[in-house]
Amino acid sequence: MAKIMIQGTGSTVGKSIIVSALCRIFKQDGYSVCPFKSQNMSLNSYITLDGKEMGRAQVLQAYASGLQPEAYMNPILLKPTSDKKCQIIVNGKVYGNSTAMEYHNMKLEFRDMLQDHFKKMEKSFEIIVMEGAGSPAEINLRDRDIVNMGMAEIADAPVLLAGDIDKGGVFASLAGTMLFFTEEEKKRVKGTIINKFRGDIDILKPGLKMLQDVVNVPCIGVIPHFNLALEDEDGAVEFNKKVTAPIDIAVIKLPHISNFTDLDALKSEDDVSVRFITSTEEFGNPDLLIIPGSKNTIEDLIKIRQCGLEACIKKYSESGIVIGVCGGYQILGNIISDPYKTETDMGEVEGMGLLDIETVFEKEKVTTRIKALSNADFPIIKEDGSLEKRKLDVYGYEIHMGICKYGAKAKPLFKFIEKNGKKVDIDDGAVNERKNVFGTYIHGVFDAMDFREYILNRIRQNKGLSYKKSRVYEDLREGEIEKLAGIVRKSLDIDKIYTIMGLRR
């Protein structure tokens, strides 16, 4: 069994996307490959087929490997609830809540578990592509590290160190990171990678030679800057604020925004622009307004109320289309109750009152994969270009602690027909009487072509644009992964990486 670990000089240098590329390259070359990140910190999470929670970055890496995502690929997930506290997910299930110091002190408790995971993976795959987190040069964390050099030691893995040249200072960041490694850690580093390069490579080459002389390891390659419709590192997304296409979709950028990967399928549409707003000045007149998920729904509701965005949303809802997902769905209701003080000590807050529902937070988190149908018939384009009215097929996953109760003026939007592979008959979401305000607990609801196509064609009709058939998002993602692998294969010395791993092509 072979392994390679991608570490980076800091967050957002592109570790996750490089791991995804390598996973697909090794798969293309005929190897069974699996991604692994021992500890991830992100509010972008995903629910596996068996109802476990994991980081979204490892989901993309799993797809690149030709695998279904499973929690062992990311056994520890930290979901921040404030600047100093987080929820800890271990092996896909809630382990508890802690402060940063409390978690730092308990990290070594997980070393044996991580080692056991890795040993099992070694028996199942020919190559494991590992990812570090943040910077491995956080010397104050070295004694309890379980994600960077600490994990490389557990797995006895060689390391490639990546740096982002787009922001400047890449040579100093690579050399400075190496400076803070111990001698044993330096021996693990077998090469560097320059990522996100723009310009003439010949101008860069003298710097690569000087860098090699300083760090005593070769540069494995230079990856150009590119734009593909793929998720980057968790939390590394750039929140666009401009309208760049005919259809203007505005998203409230909540302070504790989570699972904003729900919007990726909308971004994949050629005539759609997705922008994020944080103030009344940025609101404008969008064609669709989305309130996304939140890790702290009550606090985020209070924040948008205080900054005046709530008033803008209410006025907009008189004529515009509003969709709330998970926490955003709860915010649209009448009341949010927190009897067990799951999020705050407030107990109960008044919602926006745009959907006639009430939410009560329970003690246990709901984490399920679901399939659903719309409760009503909606117009959808047939293959011959004509319209038919039928129920919409929807799929995705739930991650929430709230349970909603319907009032007289709200009707369920969807009907769950399957949860974690078991047949069910459960109402989900809500739509108002005028059918312009929608809410659902389904993360990934826009990945489902039917619902995305219905909403966008409704907007196109309002704007006098032609109806358009949406594409299957999973097919688009697969094509983008192939493009990614092609770019990285051309950019890196893949033969050298195989040699580092002890393999021959």
Active site amino acids: 326, 443
Whole-number Å distance between alpha carbons of 166 and 197? 6
Burial of 362 (0-12, 13-18, 19+ CB in 10 A): middle
Bridge-based pairing of strands 422-428 and 414-419 is: antiparallel
Helix (H) or strand (E) holding 424: strand 422-428
Query: What are the b/e assignments for 486-496, b being 16+ CB within 10 Å?
Result: eebbebbebee
Distances (CA, A) of 368 to 59, 196, 257, 361, 420: 16, 36, 20, 17, 6
Nearest partner of 493 among 126, 1, 22, judged by Cα: 22
Helix (H) or strand (E) holding 337: strand 335-337
Angle between helices 201-215 and 170-179 (to 10 degrees): 10
Q: Which residues contact 111 (CB under 8 A, 6 or more apart)?
A: 146, 150, 154
DSSP state of 411: B
Measure the N-to-C terminal CA separation of the chain; round to a whole number of Å.
Answer: 14
SS3 202: helix
Residue located via tokens 């490892």: 58
- The phi and psi torsions of 198 (rounded to 5 degrees) equal -125, 135
Residue 477: both structure tokens together: 């993602």
Please check whether residue 10 is in contact with residue 16, taking contact to mean a CB–CB distance below 8 angstroms.
Answer: no
Q: Give residue 9's identity as a one-letter amino acid code.
A: T
